[in-house]
Homo-oligomer: A and B are copies of this chain.
């Protein structure tokens, strides 16, 4: 396998004036086996690291990102220029202290920030598009493990993730039980619930209903399914927030006007906000990646992968677990973490489980929740 650093994260066929990311990219020499039965040849894994691996290689923390996140956990996003998505959590002296830990954050398989995904070139030089194999959360973790092999990390101090990142953390603990000592899964689930599968399906249908999607073969055509992807993002974005956040942040306030327009403009602030969120998302994310990653999430079912009982997923693990949920998160509610806690208890695994009070809904794991900082710092220090 080869490392390139810094490598342009070329997305030659995406319709954007693409800035490049300076993330390091690992190209796997061996085909990466996948749950679907195929193997991915020439898979690339883009990642960021922070801090230094210590002499006995015992201080590596793997951070797994959420659905539309990326490897820029604590460094500016190369397209938007915004700070890293967990800038407030990862860094010197922060809860995941890069003075102490060697932090690795890879872009997940199927994504569009340098790791292989549907927008990447297939062996024939053309973008995979829908020829990219359908991947799973475990496949994402397989890629992470290949990266850790390449980095010389045999055993992780910890794996940490929120939302889909938490699912990767749990998948790692279940399927590579000897390779991690601490597992911190925030606002996650062990089995994707039906309501979430439903919302994920709506997002995919919104993309696929856009004629510019062109059965996924939109790369290089000058057209991309931005309208459909924006609708998908708008719907998903509502699910990331709490009703209370929406009421407090926007309520029924009008946007730049004194009275209703009696038309179909974005009269309300919340409408304007959502339209912006939808539109901005299309600037930084590939529509096919959205299909593949939401598909991986809907397929996620640790119990099914491990013989039918969630507890069996953790039988072989020697790790300590910490589960965090948020009281206003209705997308991955506390009940999901509680199910995980019960399964871990049944498996005899050491687990602490805390529901935090935070007003921001599912997005709480990304936002200013000081108690979460304390939980993270405390769990990693023990």
Contacts and interface: CB of A to CB of B under 8 A. Distances in A.
A380 interface: no
A333 B298 CA distance: 27
A315 interface: no
A301 interface: yes
A209 B208 contact: no
Interface in A232-249: 234-235, 238, 241, 243, 246-247, 249
Nearest to A207: B231
Contact of A205 (B192, B201, B270, B275): B275
A52 to B, nearest CB: 40
Contact of A195 (B35, B238, B260, B333): B238
Interface stretch (A14-22, A96-104, A261-269): A261-269
Contacts of A133: 262
Most buried by B among A211, A227, A291: A227
A230 interface: yes
Q: What are the 4 A-B residue pairs with the smallest beta carbon separation, nearest first? A: A209-B227, A36-B262, A194-B246, A134-B262
Given A194-B251, A208-B264, 12 more contacts: A130-B264, A133-B262, A134-B264, A194-B250, A198-B274, A199-B235, A201-B270, A201-B275, A209-B210, A209-B230, A264-B295, A267-B298
